Structure 1
Amino acid sequence: MQHTECATCGRKLKDKKSIERGYGPVCYEKHLKAVADKYKKNQLTIYDFLEEEAV
Structure 2
Amino acid sequence: MSHETWIDIGPLADIPREGGRVVKTRAGCVAVFRAADDAVFALDDRCPHKG
TM-score (norm 2): 0.26
Give the helix-richer structure, 1 or 2. Answer: 1
TM-score (norm 1): 0.25
Max Rg structure:
1
Give the strand-richer structure, 1 or 2. Answer: 2
